[in-house]
Amino acid sequence: MSIMKYLNNFFLFILFGIIVSCGEEHSLREENYYIDNINKEWLIDDSINSNFTMIDNNGISQSFNLQWIYNEMSKSVSKNFGITTLISYREYISYSYTSTYNSGFSISMTAATDNEDIQNGDVLTANVGNTAFRYDFTYNQVTDVYLNAGAISSIYTSEGLQSDTEILSKVELIDTLTVNNFQYKDILHFKLNDFTDSIDNFDITEIYISKNIGLIKYKYYNDIECYRVK
Amino acid sequence: MRIVTLFFVFLSFFTQCYNTCEEGEDIATDNGILTDADLAKVPYQSNDTVKLKHSAGYTINYNVTRKSYDDYISFDESCAGMIVKSNSVNLEPDYPVFPIYINISNSDGINTNYQIVVGRYYFYIPQNIDNTVNSEYYKFADSVTINNKVYYNVVKTKSFNGTYDSSDLIYCDSLYYNFDAGIIKITMSNNEYYEISE
């Protein structure tokens, strides 16, 4: 009899939870997460339809045109036993460019979260052509790498970042870099060290991004380099 | 009796809703063939290497693949459609610039259409290149000289606005073409260009 009573109470609790959660509109808890202002400086101070030009080491130029800017609070829902326990809103800002030769460039940032079990820092995602990476500012680590040849991803656990395959690609922060006779400050340099057996001549292996400015240089596997024209 | 009536009403409704046509079924107008003369106006064959030299000096090699296929185009849900003969030519570069795609088809049933896609910039070549070709997009030239070689009966075509974002600072502006050599020159909006290199 006591088991029946326990079960009844349990189902009543679940029912209560479902009712109070009202689908995904309400939850037991709501959190808003915003990108740290210092990390936001890695994004671009530019407006839709603005252009910049890059030239490669064989004198071939192309322009990049800013097509989209997204700035939103991205919603995610956590549930336990069908009950919405947490709705979190993470600030997400993204800039996407198209280019004359379809290389394309995008850069975005997602705010850190501070859940009880899993914590991640502000994450920067960037891609040029078919090469993309994610970098976590709190862990100072590349968390994901995407290429035509495949993808490697890390997952956040209570013990930190973990991945089945060790990610060898690195990000280093450089104070200054001279590109095409102009000195840029505060550079994020991504270097691809993964997929060494399956890399293609036209895969981009190095990406340089300057604070507030964006893409300033990138390099292909076959040593073609593209520089921003100031 | 009422149940039987309802069943047939439901069945009738159901069959009306799902009265769709499969590809190639019922009324298909065949637009005819692409003649050898039509196909010869694009002088590239599979495994050819097409060389285009950039104005700064670097030569890009394009590897050619070419194939013919049939497209079925349906007009509406009444099973009417047409079979369109197409021939596609892909030029794949050995450098990270634009690939070039050429499509020949008889899609309107009257004319043979020649479309050239350079990266994301679209051009249309007239089916006859002569001194009657003159419009906003086409200019005819008796001859064009490139690297001391003379190319006769050349059309200069502008890329079609609306097929790319016109806010691009550097875009593919014009393309020079003749039926003997194919693409002779591509000019960019910043005065860089690519020329045929033989």
State the pLDDT at residue A117: 65
pLDDT tens track for A110-126: 999 877 666 789 999 99
A56 inside domain: yes
The arithmetic mean of pLDDT across residues A78-95, rounded, is 87
Q: Taking CB atoms and an 8 Å cutoff, what residues of chain B touch A53?
A: 169-170
pLDDT tens track for B45-90: 999 999 999 999 999 999 999 999 887 777 666 667 777 889 999 9
Place A159 in a pLDDT band, splitting at 50, 70 and 90: confident
Other residues' Cβ atoms within 10 Å of the Cβ of residue A229: 14
A22 inside domain: no
pLDDT tens track for A169-227: 999 999 999 999 999 999 999 999 999 999 999 999 999 999 999 999 999 999 999 99
pLDDT of residue A146 exceeding 90, the answer is yes
pLDDT of residue B8 exceeding 60, the answer is no
The proportion of chain B whose per-residue pLDDT surpasses 70, expressed as a percent, equals 78
Q: Which of A136-140, A155-159, B159-163, B190-194 is the least confident region? A: B159-163
Q: Taking CB atoms and an 8 Å cutoff, what residues of chain A touch B56?
A: 58-60
Sign (positive or negative) of CA dihedral A35, A36, A41, A46: positive
Beta bridge partners of A217: A208, A227
Domain residue spans in chain B?
23-196
State the pLDDT at residue B2: 55
User: Which residue from A minimizes the CA distance to B190?
Assistant: A61
DSSP string over chain A? -HHHHHHHHHHHHHHHHHHHHTTTT--SEEEEE---HHHHTTSB---TT-EEEEEETTS-EEEEEEEEEEEEEEEEEEEETTEEEEEEEEEEEEEEEEETTS--EEEEEE--EE-SS-EE--EEEEEETTEEEEEETTTTEEEEEEETTEEEE-EEETTEEE-SS----EEEEEEEEEETTEEEEEEEEEE--S-TTT--TTSEEEEEEETBTEEEEEEETTS-EEEEE-
State the pLDDT at residue B11: 46
CB contact (8 A) between residue B58 and residue A102: no
Q: Across the interface, which of B96, B167, B172 has its CB nearest the CB of A103?
A: B96
pLDDT of residue B15 exceeding 50, the answer is no
DSSP B35: P
State the pLDDT at residue B68: 92
State the pLDDT at residue B172: 93
Retrieve residue B189's tokens: 């909006």
CB contact (8 A) between residue B97 and residue A60: yes
Q: Return mean pLDDT, chain B.
A: 84
Q: Count up the domains in chain A and report the number.
A: 1
Q: Which of A37-46, A92-101, B152-161 is the least confident region? A: B152-161
Q: Which domain holds residue A117?
A: 27-229
Q: Across the interface, which of A100, A129, A220 has its CB nearest the CB of B168?
A: A100
Contact in structure between B194 and B186 (CB atoms under 8 Å)? yes
A80 inside domain: yes
Choose from A42-51, A57-66, B11-20 the range with maximum mean pLDDT: A57-66
A20 inside domain: no
pLDDT of residue B1 exceeding 60, the answer is no
The arithmetic mean of pLDDT across residues A124-143, rounded, is 95
State the pLDDT at residue B14: 44
Suggest the residue from B98, B165, B170, B171 to mutate for an interface test with chain A (most A CBs closer than 10 A). B170
- Residue A224 Cα, gap to closest chain B Cα (Å): 9
What is the rounded radius of gyration, in angstroms, for the C-alpha atoms of chain B? 23
Q: Taking CB atoms and an 8 Å cutoff, what residues of chain A touch B120?
A: 98, 102
Suggest the residue from A50, A57, A60 to mutate for an interface test with chain B (most B CBs closer than 10 A). A60
pLDDT of residue A109 exceeding 80, the answer is yes
A81 inside domain: yes
As a residue count, chain B comes to 198
Q: Taking CB atoms and an 8 Å cutoff, what residues of chain A touch B163?
A: none
